[in-house]
């Protein structure tokens, strides 16, 4: 028996330890969620890469590679978009701290690092950061619109 | 199945690296060690045959970027072949297809750097 989807936005959460061994699980989930939302294969692959980059940033930079913390992923399916919220209580990043590298400069002067944020911004329609000093809860929100 | 396995073989003067699976922050050290091992051995022309590579994140791109100047300083290069569409999209989106030579398959890549290559 099929159960019809409601028109209400659906959401669910996954909490993982702050360890890179779970990246593959998270990217697999992001890809499948994108397909469920109605995105095509190529777009789903891009969403999964953006999520990998965002979760990697949390593990390596917000938590400095410490594996005993938690990373929370909240997936929201709305009529207009797939929203993936990545929440953590590590070191927060605010919008005004985000500096995207210039790919042309990067190619002229190759070096390690700095490309994750660029991939996120290129592959998603919106990337937002919120750092809440009061609660210590921080968030990276990735949005992909449904055409 | 492991997230990443890496095979290496020699084709003429070219070291062919075949990563299979996923290169991300969890597996990148293994990938980096394979590349660094080739460079340590003086094998400066490296072909990354990506036919079994499902995915590469910026961590993997950083590993390649970290060695490109070294190999080119030694008259070598890092070539790419057999990119799956999503892997190509990552390189292309960042403009890296201008930095690396990308080939449809391994034979084309080997022929480009080894004129006597017969496949």
For domain A12-145, which architecture applies?
A: 2-Layer Sandwich (3.30)
Question: Looking at residues A39-67, what average pLDDT do you find?
Answer: 96
Sketch the domain layout of chain B as residue ranges. Answer: 4-113
Helices (H), chain A: 23-37, 41-57, 103-108, 116-123
CB contact under 8 A, B90 and A23: no
Q: What is the ipTM of this complex?
A: 0.89
Please classify residue B64 by burial: count the beta carbons closer than 10 Å to its beta carbon, then call 0-12 exposed, 13-18 middle and 19+ buried: buried
Q: pLDDT (tens digit, 0 to 9) for every residue of chain B, 119 residues total?
A: 579 999 999 999 999 999 999 999 999 999 999 999 999 999 999 999 999 999 999 999 999 988 998 999 999 999 999 999 999 999 998 888 888 999 999 999 999 988 766 66
Q: How confident is the model at residue A3 (pLDDT cuts 50, 70, 90)?
A: low
With contacts defined as CB-CB under 8 Å, which chain A residues touch B93?
119, 122-123
B26 in A contact zone (CB under 8 Å):
yes
> Domain ranges in chain A?
12-145
Contacts of B89 in chain A (CB under 8 A): 42, 45-46
Distance in angstroms (rounded) separating the CA atoms of residues A42 and B16 = 27
Nearest CA in chain A to B89: A46
Domain B4-113, CATH class in plain words: alpha beta
Q: Quote the CA–CA distance of A139 and A66 in Å, as a whole number.
A: 18
């Amino acid at each position: 028996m099929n159960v019809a989807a409601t028109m209400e936005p659906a959401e669910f959460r996954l909490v993982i330890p702050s360890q890179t061994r779970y990246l593959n699980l998270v990217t697999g989930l992001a890809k499948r969620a994108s397909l469920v939302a109605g995105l095509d294969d190529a777009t789903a692959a891009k969403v999964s890469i953006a999520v990998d980059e965002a979760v990697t940033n949390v593990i390596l930079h917000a938590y400095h590679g410490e594996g005993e913390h938690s990373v929370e992923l909240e997936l929201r399916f709305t009529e207009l978009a797939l929203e993936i919220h990545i929440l953590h209580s590590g070191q927060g990043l605010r919008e005004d701290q985000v500096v995207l590298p210039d790919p042309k400069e990067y190619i002229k002067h190759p070096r390690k690092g700095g490309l994750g944020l660029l991939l996120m911004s290129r592959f998603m329609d919106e990337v937002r950061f919120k750092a809440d000093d009061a609660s210590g809860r921080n968030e990276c929100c990735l949005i992909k619109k449904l055409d | 199945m492991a997230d990443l396995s890496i095979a290496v073989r020699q084709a003429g003067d070219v070291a062919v690296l075949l990563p299979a699976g996923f290169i991300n922050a969890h597996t990148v050290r293994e990938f980096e060690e394979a590349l660094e091992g080739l460079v340590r051995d003086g094998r400066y022309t490296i072909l990354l045959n990506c036919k079994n590579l499902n995915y590469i994140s910026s961590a993997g791109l950083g590993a390649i970027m970290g060695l490109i100047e070294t190999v080119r300083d030694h008259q070598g290069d890092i070539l790419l072949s057999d990119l799956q569409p999503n892997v190509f999209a990552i390189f292309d989106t960042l403009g890296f297809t201008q930095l690396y030579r990308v080939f449809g398959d391994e034979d084309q890549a080997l022929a480009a750097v080894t004129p006597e290559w017969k496949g």
